[in-house]
């Protein structure tokens, strides 16, 4: 999958006609300069377009409708440079469906104490102008992020950048199409969910296809193309004792799967080892390489994690560190340093590999197919988040745990799958207690470049519940937070 096309953000400055023509020209110049600074900021991954100065209710309503109607617009950054009486904003904001960031800034940084006069005061009024605007946004219940500080401050630009990444993820979710080969693993609860509600809330659609359709696409792949991909495997990985026939089968599966996803415009997919029709192996290296190219994936029919993996990969675009579908697999309950060993049967994304992956073949004890080819590696160390999307019946909950991925204390020569070892915050017992209390699933997305703030912004703009487990989590307070959330969400 090629890099997602970045959408754009619109920068809008509110003012009014009270001040006369000359100050309005100055407001426009200032807004243009701020928009250009945001546009050029390395921390902000999306282009920022100056959309002019709005002075009347009609202009504001027209602009909000234009934003909703423009496929390229992923969100609005608004700012009341001068006082912008906010009843003018009601109609526009009430109908707006794009994410909103309220940048509470001021064109001027330091006050010119000895020079300050009423002209200066009248041109640098966002301290009260933005209060008027925020009042109406709160009164209307508009979900938004508020960022406060001077527009040249790197910390301000970083926060706008995190929100921009969330808006990009939401924008992607709006058009994301997930293909599900077969259903979910029989009798499993947590990979089920309300696909209609997911489309309403988050935008992505999930459609089932027979795995036979995929198998047909795989069988139609030309031998010459398989030759080429097998050569690429040998070039890119250390291929360890994989029989040529099995490697060719794996390559054919990758080409068939890749072609199926491209032809259908799918950005994420699921499969299940229980339903493989006449595919020779459970897709392993194919899934791993597709994830590395940006596709979302969820095993055992887990469409929620497949969609979340894709959304996270878009949010992380251009940042180092990688992200992957993941599963809490087994624990090291050492008294002094308990850790999680995360892995899956096969499907871990090589974007998180510490070193060049080895291409290996080993038996899979379930599924009844030929031994699957897979990439084996250790995940690199570093700070990361583990995120999951679960369906509680009346709402979706985005559950996030801050973790520290560490080097395994010893080599794992007999483990035939890619893996990551991490220390959850605040520690394994409290993190797992909170995770279980929140009803969190075993499937997650592990992402290094992502932080809680970006996911919180995403939850805010999609109006889904966010619950965070971090260094400050105490399980008994956490349990109360879940109860408060229950009351909040059940009243909506």
Tokens representing residue 333 in the block: 């309950």
Question: Shortest distance, CB of residue 55 to Mn ion, whole angstroms?
Answer: 56
Question: Shortest distance, CB of residue 363 to Mn ion, whole angstroms?
Answer: 18
Tokens representing residue 399 in the block: 């559950």
Q: In 3D, which of 203, 158, 197, 144 has the Cα closest to residue 461?
A: 144
Question: Shortest distance, CB of residue 327 to Mn ion, whole angstroms?
Answer: 5
Question: Shortest distance, CB of residue 241 to Mn ion, whole angstroms?
Answer: 26
Given the complex with Mn ion, which of 86 and 299 has the nearer CB atom? Answer: 299
Given the complex with Mn ion, which of 132 and 327 has the nearer CB atom? Answer: 327
Phi, psi (rounded to 5 degrees) for 219: -70, -20
- 120: CB partners within 8 A, 6+ apart: 108, 112
- CA-CA distance, 126 to 26, in Å (whole number)? 14
Provide the phi-psi class of 481: left if phi over 0, else alpha when psi is between -120 and 50, else beta.
alpha
Question: Shortest distance, CB of residue 438 to Mn ion, whole angstroms?
Answer: 19
Residue 52-81 contact track with Mn ion, rule CB under 5 A, x = bound:
------------------------------
Given the complex with Mn ion, which of 26 and 270 has the nearer CB atom? Answer: 270
Given the complex with Mn ion, which of 120 and 331 has the nearer CB atom? Answer: 331
Stretch that binds Mn ion, among 160-168, 259-267, 322-330, 371-379 (CB under 5 A): 322-330
Burial per residue of 302-333, b for 16 or more beta-carbon CB atoms within 10 angstroms, e otherwise: bbbbbbbbbbbbbbbbeeebbbbbbbbbeeee
For residues 183 and 275, the answer to whether their CB atoms sit within 8 Å is: yes
Of 73, 100, 198, 299, the one binding Mn ion (CB under 5 A) is: 299
| Tally of CB atoms within 10 A around 366 | 10
Stretch that binds Mn ion, among 5-13, 72-80, 153-161, 296-304 (CB under 5 A): 296-304
Given the complex with Mn ion, which of 299 and 307 has the nearer CB atom? Answer: 299
Question: Shortest distance, CB of residue 32 to Mn ion, whole angstroms?
Answer: 51
Stretch that binds Mn ion, among 3-11, 69-77, 291-299, 428-436 (CB under 5 A): 291-299
Stretch that binds Mn ion, among 292-300, 311-319, 379-387, 426-434 (CB under 5 A): 292-300
Given the complex with Mn ion, which of 76 and 306 has the nearer CB atom? Answer: 306
Given the complex with Mn ion, which of 262 and 366 has the nearer CB atom? Answer: 366
Question: Shortest distance, CB of residue 430 to Mn ion, whole angstroms?
Answer: 24
Question: Shortest distance, CB of residue 298 to Mn ion, whole angstroms?
Answer: 9
Given the complex with Mn ion, which of 101 and 299 has the nearer CB atom? Answer: 299
Question: Shortest distance, CB of residue 338 to Mn ion, whole angstroms?
Answer: 22
Given the complex with Mn ion, which of 18 and 366 has the nearer CB atom? Answer: 366
Size of the site for Mn ion (CB under 5 A): 2
Given the complex with Mn ion, which of 299 and 466 has the nearer CB atom? Answer: 299
For residues 307 and 204, the answer to whether their CB atoms sit within 8 Å is: yes
CA dihedral for 35, 37, 43, 49, sign (positive or negative) = positive
Stretch that binds Mn ion, among 254-262, 321-329, 444-452, 458-466 (CB under 5 A): 321-329
Stretch that binds Mn ion, among 275-283, 319-327, 465-473, 474-482 (CB under 5 A): 319-327
Does position 190 bind Mn ion by CB under 5 A? no
Stretch that binds Mn ion, among 131-139, 295-303, 304-312, 368-376 (CB under 5 A): 295-303
Stretch that binds Mn ion, among 105-113, 323-331, 348-356, 357-365 (CB under 5 A): 323-331
What are the residues facing 57 on neighbouring strands? Answer: none
- CA-CA distance, 54 to 79, in Å (whole number)? 10
Burial per residue of 1-31, b for 16 or more beta-carbon CB atoms within 10 angstroms, e otherwise: beebebbbbbbbbbbbeebeeebbebbbebb
Given the complex with Mn ion, which of 270 and 462 has the nearer CB atom? Answer: 270
Stretch that binds Mn ion, among 213-221, 327-335, 381-389, 402-410 (CB under 5 A): 327-335
Question: Shortest distance, CB of residue 374 to Mn ion, whole angstroms?
Answer: 14
Taking CB positions, which residue lies at the least distance from Mn ion? 299
Question: Shortest distance, CB of residue 443 to Mn ion, whole angstroms?
Answer: 6
Question: Shortest distance, CB of residue 476 to Mn ion, whole angstroms?
Answer: 30
Q: Which of residues 152-171 bind Mn ion (CB under 5 A)?
A: none
Cis peptide before 242 (omega within 30 of 0): no
Q: Which residues form the interface with Mn ion (CB under 5 A)? A: 299, 327
């Amino acid at each position: 999958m090629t890099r997602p096309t970045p959408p754009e953000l619109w920068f809008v400055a509110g003012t009014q006609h009270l001040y006369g023509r000359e100050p309005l020209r100055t407001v426009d110049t200032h807004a243009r300069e701020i928009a250009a600074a945001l546009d050029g900021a390395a921390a902000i991954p999306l282009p920022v377009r100056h959309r002019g100065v709005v002075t009347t209710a009609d202009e504001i309503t027209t602009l909000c409708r234009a934003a909703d109607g423009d496929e390229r617009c992923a969100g609005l950054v608004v700012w009341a440079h001068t006082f912008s009486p906010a009843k003018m904003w009601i109609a526009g904001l009430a109908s707006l469906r794009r994410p909103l960031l309220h940048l509470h800034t001021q064109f001027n940084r330091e006050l010119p104490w000895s020079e300050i006069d009423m002209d200066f005061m009248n041109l640098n009024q966002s301290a009260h102008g933005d209060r008027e605007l925020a009042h109406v946004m709160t009164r209307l219940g508009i979900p938004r992020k508020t960022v406060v500080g001077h527009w040249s401050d790197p910390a301000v630009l970083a926060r706008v950048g995190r929100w921009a990444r969330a808006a990009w993820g939401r924008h992607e979710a709006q058009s994301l199409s997930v293909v599900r080969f077969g259903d979910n693993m029989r009798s499993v609860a947590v990979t089920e969910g309300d696909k209609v509600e997911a489309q309403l809330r988050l935008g992505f659609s999930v459609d089932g296809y027979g795995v036979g359709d995929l198998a047909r696409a795989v069988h139609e792949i030309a031998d010459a193309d398989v030759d080429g991909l097998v050569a690429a495997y040998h070039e890119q990985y250390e291929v360890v004792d994989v029989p040529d026939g099995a490697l060719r089968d794996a390559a054919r599966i990758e080409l068939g799967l890749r072609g199926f996803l491209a032809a259908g415009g799918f950005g994420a997919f699921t499969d299940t080892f229980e339903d493989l029709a006449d595919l020779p192996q459970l897709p392993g290296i194919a899934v791993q390489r597709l994830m590395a190219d940006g596709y979302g994936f969820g095993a055992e029919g887990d469409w929620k994690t497949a969609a979340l993996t894709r959304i996270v990969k878009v949010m992380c675009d251009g940042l180092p560190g990688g992200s992957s579908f993941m599963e809490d697999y087994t624990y090291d309950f050492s008294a002094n340093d308990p850790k999680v060993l995360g892995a899956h049967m096969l499907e871990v994304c090589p974007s998180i590999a510490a070193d060049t992956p080895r291409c290996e073949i080993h038996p899979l004890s379930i599924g009844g197919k030929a031994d699957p080819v897979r990439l084996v590696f250790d995940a690199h160390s570093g700070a990361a988040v583990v995120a999951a999307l679960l369906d509680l019946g009346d709402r979706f909950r985005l559950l996030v745990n801050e973790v520290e991925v560490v080097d395994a204390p010893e080599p794992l020569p007999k483990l035939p799958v890619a893996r990551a070892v991490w220390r959850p915050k605040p520690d394994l017992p409290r993190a797992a207690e909170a995770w279980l209390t929140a009803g969190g699933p075993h499937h997650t997305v592990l992402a290094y470049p992502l932080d809680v703030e970006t996911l919180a912004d995403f939850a805010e703009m999609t109006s889904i519940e966010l619950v965070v487990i971090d260094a400050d989590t105490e399980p008994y307070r956490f349990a109360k937070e879940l109860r408060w959330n229950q009351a909040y969400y059940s009243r909506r």
